[in-house]
Amino acid sequence: MFDFSKTEKSLVFSLANLAIISKYKIKFNKNEILFSADRIVTKFLKDVDFKILKADNKIDSPVIENATILFYNIPDESLDKLKSMFLNNVTVLESNNEGEVFLNENNNSKIYINGFLVATEKNFLFSYNIKKPTKTIIKKIEKLELPFKRTAYVHKIKTILLNCEKAEIAMYLAKDLEKLDGGQAHDEINWKDVQLHAVKLLNALNKYLFITKSDYVKYYYLIDTAIESGYKPVYISQNIKDIVESEKDFLGKNINTINVFLEKYSKNFEFAYINKDQLTDVEKENLKIVENLLKDLAVELEIKISTNMLETKNKKYHVKNRTLVLKKEILSNIDTTLENAIEGIGRILYPEVDANRAILNLFVKFLKDKQNKFTHVSKINQKESIINKFLNKFKKKDGEKDVR
**Residue-wise pLDDT tens for the chain (404 aa)?**
899 999 899 999 999 999 999 999 999 999 999 999 999 999 999 899 999 999 999 988 999 999 999 999 999 999 999 999 999 988 899 999 999 999 998 888 999 999 999 999 999 999 999 999 999 999 999 999 999 999 999 999 999 999 999 888 988 988 888 887 778 889 999 899 999 999 999 999 889 999 998 898 888 888 988 998 899 999 888 888 999 998 999 999 999 999 899 888 888 888 899 999 999 999 999 999 999 989 888 889 999 999 988 876 656 888 888 999 999 999 999 999 999 999 889 888 888 887 788 788 888 887 877 777 656 555 445 445 545 554 554 444 444 444 43
- Answer for the pair 317, 340: CB distance below 8 angstroms, yes or no: yes
- Pairwise CA distance, residues 327 & 90, whole Å: 58
Residue ending a domain, among 83, 107, 137, is 83
Mark whether 212 and 153 lie in a shared domain: no
Longest Cα separation, the chain:
123
Mark whether 134 and 199 lie in a shared domain: no
Is 402 part of any domain?
yes
Mark whether 107 and 23 lie in a shared domain: no
pLDDT value for 133: 94
pLDDT value for 378: 55
Mark whether 404 and 288 lie in a shared domain: yes
Mark whether 309 and 400 lie in a shared domain: yes
Is 177 part of any domain?
no
Is 173 part of any domain?
no
Is 182 part of any domain?
no
Mark whether 50 and 159 lie in a shared domain: no
Residue ending a domain, among 208, 233, 268, is 268
Is 170 part of any domain?
no
Assign residue 361 the CATH number of its domain: 3.30.2010
Mark whether 385 and 289 lie in a shared domain: yes
Residue ending a domain, among 58, 83, 108, is 83
Report how far apart, in Å, the C-alpha atoms of 103 and of each of 93, 106, 154, 168 are.
7, 10, 18, 11
Mark whether 225 and 277 lie in a shared domain: no
The b-or-e profile of 366-394 (16+ CB within 10 A means b, else e) is: eebeebeeeeeeeeeeeeeeeebeebeee
Q: Which residue range(s) make up the domain with 108? A: 92-164
- Answer for the pair 87, 26: CB distance below 8 angstroms, yes or no: no
Is 332 part of any domain?
yes
Looking at the structure of the chain, the number of domains it has is 4
Mark whether 389 and 292 lie in a shared domain: yes
pTM of model > 0.85: no
Mark whether 257 and 275 lie in a shared domain: no
Mark whether 377 and 330 lie in a shared domain: yes
- Helix axis angle, 167-177 relative to 192-205, nearest 10°? 120
Mark whether 258 and 274 lie in a shared domain: no
Is 137 part of any domain?
yes
Is 176 part of any domain?
no
